Structure 1
Amino acid sequence: MIEGFKLAALEAGQRILGIYEEGFQSETKGDGSPVTIADQQAEEIILNHLSTFCPDVPVIAEEAMAAGIMPEIGSCFILVDPLDGTREFISRNGEFTVNIALIEDGTPTKGVIYAPVTGELFWGEVGQGAYCAVASGLELGEATQMNCSAFSEELRVLASRSHRSERTNALLEKLDNSSIVAAGSSLKFCRLAEGKADFYPRMEPTMEWDTAAGQAILCAAGGSVVVEGGGPLEYGKLKTPQDKPFANPCFLAVADEKIISHYGLRSGW
């Protein structure tokens, strides 16, 4: 399944890159978020792939959901974000990705993230490790295994480039001896997984398709994603406090859970 996810992400990414280079216009969806033809065409490519190699697994995809298409799901389903970081795509800073993940019993177990501009492909399977490689078109270079960094009091923090609330800023101010770098899309999870950062707090709204692939990769590399109270971020949430299916609560993504206890973040933020 991971190999199928990788091929689907690479092909979708190539189409996104073509549109990125050709030029495009953006529109606004009903929830106020932007969308482009790249989102729509990439999702079509991915769904075509998934219908071929795993036709019996339900798929929740961002643009289909925006159109009111939500298949019934069970304990096993796939989440697709065909273009995570649409605002980054529109601003042309290169920090956007293709995300595909498998959810089993509420947990992301396999994930693939592709960054078309840099060619970086990240993938992971919980219990089997996380890897990255650079792609040229549909051809992948040599894979490198990724591992999260161990706890250090010199904390390297990632914060959203396009979505940062006062609550996030208040939390960041509590972190002594830390350096903060702004970054877009699910690449933040990947930077944690490859040992280039330690902590990514997210107090702003996200949906499950935004985070599932990144969580699978991060956890496969030895990190974790936790919600208030210390439990893991779970998936398949049809009823949420936001009254939006598949909406996430706030969460902390960490390379090492010692960060949470060191800064007293276990119960409340």
Structure 2
Amino acid sequence: MNDISPNGLDGDALLRVMEEAAIAAGLAIMEIYAGGFDVLLKDDCSPVTQADKAAEAIILAALRKATPDISIVAEEEMSEGRAPAHLGDCFYLVDPLDGTREFIGRNGDFTVNIALIDRGVPIFGVVYAPVRGLLFSGAPGEAREVAVDAKGSRGASRLIAVRDCPAQMIAVASRSHRTSATDDYLTGFDIAECVSVGSSLKFCLLARGEADIYPRFGPTMEWDTAAGDAVLRAAGGGTWTPEGRLLAYGKPHFKNSFFIARGKWSPVFS
């Protein structure tokens, strides 16, 4: 697949570690999802549950065992003030439960996100949607979708890629955070349908060729987008700022600008 070797692991081995960590976290999430759980509010008033914390603990343990020299920026640790002492050019971004509101609402649109960043670029990414039983992974030049059963065992696997942009595009937008600015932006295009989906699944719909554009004119953090962006880039698409620059990672406070994620689309900007 590739010859990138952070911390001595080849790319295939590293991606496998990330995939297995995401699946294990997903199993823990589903166990809590099937029972009862409490909902707390963090300092920024966003919700958090036992599932967020349990999933993050599993992922951190797996990544630190396999690659102890690579720093990890994880959402729940960051919310508790535990940032890495030294970041470096290569680091992980982890969102253990992307779409906590979807998890609480029990609509299934939540994911486990793990990405590896190298000099601002998301080069490896894993998005696991446990309710859908789908694992999306991306590495340079290859994006893949893998079926995963309720016990965490892998099934059928296939390569995925963005599609050629049709005359009438399909857009995806946030289920919980859609803004009027998003709707205003989309009026500039011939949109046949706008699908509301939660979490990083929006990136995955573009990556598998089922949608064409995902604009986000609202606040996001890098751990919200990095894994999905890595999958999308591996599938032939990308994520840009409104000014036309590829979205970069490792920014101050890990806050994203507004962005537009796309599959194949020419011209790049209208």
Partner residue, 1:51: 64
Does 2:77 align with 1:69?
no
Code of the aligned partner of 2:246: P
CA contact (8 A) 1:120 1:133 kept: yes
Alignment of 1:1-269 (within 5 A): 1-71=14-84, 72-127=86-141, 129-136=142-149, 137-238=151-252, 245-258=253-266, 260-261=268-269, 264=270
Tell me the SS of whatever aligns to 2:239.
strand
- Rounded to whole Å, the distance in 2 between the matches of 1:215 and 1:116 is 19
Give the CA deviation at 1:178: 2.6
Which string of whole-angstrom CA distances, capped at 9 and with x for unpartnered residues, describes residues 238-257 of structure 1?
A: 2xxxxxx0000000000013
Which string of whole-angstrom CA distances, capped at 9 and with x for unpartnered residues, describes residues 107-160 of structure 1?
A: 000000000111100001022x00011112221112100010012111000010
Aligned residues: 255
- Rounded to whole Å, the distance in 2 between the matches of 1:165 and 1:119 is 29
Tell me the SS of whatever aligns to 2:131.
coil
Partner residue, 1:241: none
Which string of whole-angstrom CA distances, capped at 9 and with x for unpartnered residues, describes residues 162-189 of structure 1?
A: 0011111211222224311111000000
Tell me the SS of whatever aligns to 1:83.
strand
- Rounded to whole Å, the distance in 1 between the matches of 2:238 and 2:64 is 30
CA contact (8 A) 1:151 1:259 kept: no
Give the CA deviation at 1:199: 0.6
Code of the aligned partner of 1:42: A
CA contact (8 A) 2:170 2:191 kept: no
- Rounded to whole Å, the distance in 2 between the matches of 1:113 and 1:250 is 21
CA contact (8 A) 2:47 2:101 kept: yes
Which string of whole-angstrom CA distances, capped at 9 and with x for unpartnered residues, describes residues 51-89 of structure 1?
A: 111111000000000000000201000000000000000
> How big is the alpha-carbon RMSD for the aligned residues of Structure 1 and Structure 2?
1.0
- Rounded to whole Å, the distance in 2 between the matches of 1:119 and 1:41 is 19
* 5+ long unaligned stretches in structure 1: 239-244, 265-269
Tell me the SS of whatever aligns to 1:143.
strand
- Rounded to whole Å, the distance in 2 between the matches of 1:257 and 1:105 is 26
Give the CA deviation at 1:101: 0.3
CA contact (8 A) 1:126 1:217 kept: no
CA contact (8 A) 1:225 1:252 kept: yes
After superposition, the Cα gap between the structure-2 partners of 1:246 and 1:151, relative to the gap in structure 1 and judged at 3 Å, is same
CA contact (8 A) 1:102 1:110 kept: yes
Tell me the SS of whatever aligns to 2:114.
strand
